Amino acid sequence: MAVGTSALAGSTNPTINLAGASAEGSAILALLIGWQRDCHQRGCRLIFADVPEPLRRIAEASEVAQLLGISAGS
């Protein structure tokens, strides 16, 4: 997680492109939630772009899509 959060340093509203993300399980959701939490603690807003539909469905089924800002209506 330290590698990902170091990329967030110095950016007000960093965007992470998830186009190549694999939705094989919920582990990626835990990572995204951790990044979101770290960014929130720094006072920034983390934006996830190009979220693959399978990952979006897992996030919605896990009831974390809205928390991550990746719900179908966002």
Q: CA-CA distance, 20 to 13, in Å (whole number)?
A: 21
* Residue 59 in domain: yes
In sequence order, the 6+-apart residues with CB closer than 8 A to the CB of 8 are: 14, 35, 38, 39, 42, 44, 46
Structural domain including 13 reads 2-68
pLDDT of residue 6 exceeding 70, the answer is no
Q: Provide the number of structural domains found in the chain.
A: 1
Helix (H) or strand (E) run with residue 5 in it: helix 2-8
Asked if residue 74 belongs to a domain, the reply is: no
The pLDDT of residue 1 is above 50: no
**CATH classification of the domain holding 13:** 3.30.750.24
Tens-digit pLDDT profile for residues 26-67: 888 999 999 999 888 888 889 999 999 999 999 999 999 999
pLDDT score recorded for residue 12: 77
Neighbouring C-beta atoms of residue 58, cutoff 10 Å: 18
49 inside domain: yes
Judge whether residue 9 has pLDDT over 90. no
Asked if residue 19 belongs to a domain, the reply is yes
